């Protein structure tokens, strides 16, 4: 595993993390809606330009009607025009390697359907409709991720994950587990085999030429929590098999009380393989994104 850190794009947070995030690992950022997770994800991905020579990519798993505002934040913070990839577009495997340099920054894998994302909330037909949609778009997801890594991206922000009571019932978490283990952490040659299938031999030389080290690929998962207050997040028990238990680094973002005022605070709950700050640090959200310090 490479030990060259991935900067979050926020110097104060990098200092809290002992220099930044460790490549090749999963970082989970948990907090309620509107707490600043998406801004953090955009700042982290933009820092890839300075760190690795290419911005990171966004894999949006939101299935509800509210927008995650990635494009608006990217434009206002960094004048970055995010280029979306059509989840339903048919991939031309014959020309795939000729177009990876032009691949987009953002893939929203689900339609906005306004539906819940757990098996217990869906009837038999809806559950199988969800799985059919996943299977139909899985090739596009693999192509988006694999093509981005060939093009030089080394950061993936996964956004839009909703809270669930039982992780194994979540359509979103089931798909995330697949892409994390079968794409992000898998040897690139075998990812290419899964994508290209019978066309693999035709493109074998290009697969070799586009090889990358998957130990340099990091994933930042943005997870919406039930809890709003930071103290409640910190006190939350982590169950075996919970998405939080599998992350190398766990960052909590939540509301904090300062006298008769409510602000925002961030806490590093876990950071395996590195020293990290143990205090709760106030932050604010302004036109420059996530900034450390109290409201001015």
Q: What share of the chain is helix, strand, coil (3-state, %, to 5)?
A: 40, 20, 40
225 within 8 A of 163, measured Cβ to Cβ: yes
d(CA 89, CA 112): 17
165 C-beta neighbours (distance < 10 Å), count: 9
Tell me the pTM: 0.90
Average pLDDT, integer, range 209-220: 96
Tokens of residue 206, six digits: 């290009």
d(CA 114, CA 153): 31
What is the average pLDDT score of the chain?
87
85 within 8 A of 140, measured Cβ to Cβ: yes
243 within 8 A of 61, measured Cβ to Cβ: no
247: nearest Cα among 277, 229, 273: 273
pLDDT above 70: residue 97: yes
Residue with tokens 């949609």: 133
Distances (CA, A) of 28 to 15, 144, 182, 269: 18, 21, 19, 10
Q: Between these two residues, 272 and 114, which has the higher pLDDT value? A: 272
Encode pLDDT of 167-185 as tens digits.
Answer: 666 777 878 888 999 999 9
39 within 8 A of 157, measured Cβ to Cβ: no
pLDDT above 50: residue 296: no
Where are the chain's structural domains?
A: 24-225
pLDDT above 90: residue 244: no
pLDDT above 80: residue 165: no
Average pLDDT, integer, range 272-293: 91
Tokens of residue 166, six digits: 């039982």
d(CA 216, CA 207): 18
DSSP H/E element including 108: strand 106-108
pLDDT confidence of 5, banded at 50, 70, 90?
very high
Which pLDDT does position 121 carry in this prediction? 61
Residues 6+ apart with CB under 8 A from 144: 57, 59, 85, 103, 104, 107
pLDDT cut 70: percent of the chain above it: 84
Tokens of residue 75, six digits: 């434009």
pLDDT confidence of 120, banded at 50, 70, 90?
low
Encode pLDDT of 221-242 as tens digits.
Answer: 999 898 999 999 999 876 655 6
pLDDT above 60: residue 116: no
Which pLDDT does position 2 carry in this prediction? 44
199: nearest Cα among 103, 90, 95: 95
DSSP H/E element including 221: strand 218-224
């Amino acid at each position: 595993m490479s030990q060259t850190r991935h900067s979050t794009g926020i110097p104060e947070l990098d200092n809290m993390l002992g220099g930044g995030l460790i490549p090749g690992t999963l970082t989970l950022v948990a907090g309620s809606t509107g707490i600043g997770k998406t801004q953090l994800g955009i700042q982290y991905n933009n820092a890839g330009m300075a760190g690795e020579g290419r911005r990171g990519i966004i894999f949006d798993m939101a299935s509800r009607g509210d927008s995650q505002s990635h494009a608006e934040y990217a434009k206002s913070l960094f004048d970055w025009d995010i280029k979306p990839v059509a989840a339903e577009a048919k991939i031309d495997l014959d020309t795939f390697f000729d177009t990876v340099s032009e691949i987009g920054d953002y893939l929203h894998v689900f339609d906005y359907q306004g539906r819940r994302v757990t098996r217990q909330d869906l009837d038999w037909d809806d559950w199988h409709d969800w799985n059919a949609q996943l299977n139909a778009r899985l090739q596009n997801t693999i192509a988006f991720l694999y093509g981005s890594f060939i093009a030089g991206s080394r950061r993936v922000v996964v956004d839009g994950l909703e809270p669930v009571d039982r992780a194994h019932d979540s359509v979103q978490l089931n798909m995330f587990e697949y892409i994390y283990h079968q794409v992000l952490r898998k040897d690139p040659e075998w990812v290419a085999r899964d994508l290209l299938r019978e066309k693999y031999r035709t493109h074998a030389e290009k697969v070799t030429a586009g090889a990358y080290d998957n130990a340099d690929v990091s994933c930042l998962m943005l997870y919406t929590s039930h809890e709003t207050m930071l103290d409640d997040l910190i006190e939350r028990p982590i169950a075996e098999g919970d998405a939080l238990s599998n992350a190398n680094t766990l960052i909590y973002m939540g509301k904090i009380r300062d006298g008769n005022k409510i602000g925002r605070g961030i806490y590093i709950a876990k950071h395996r393989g590195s020293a990290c700050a143990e205090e709760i640090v106030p932050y604010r959200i302004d036109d420059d994104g996530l900034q450390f310090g109290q409201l001015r």
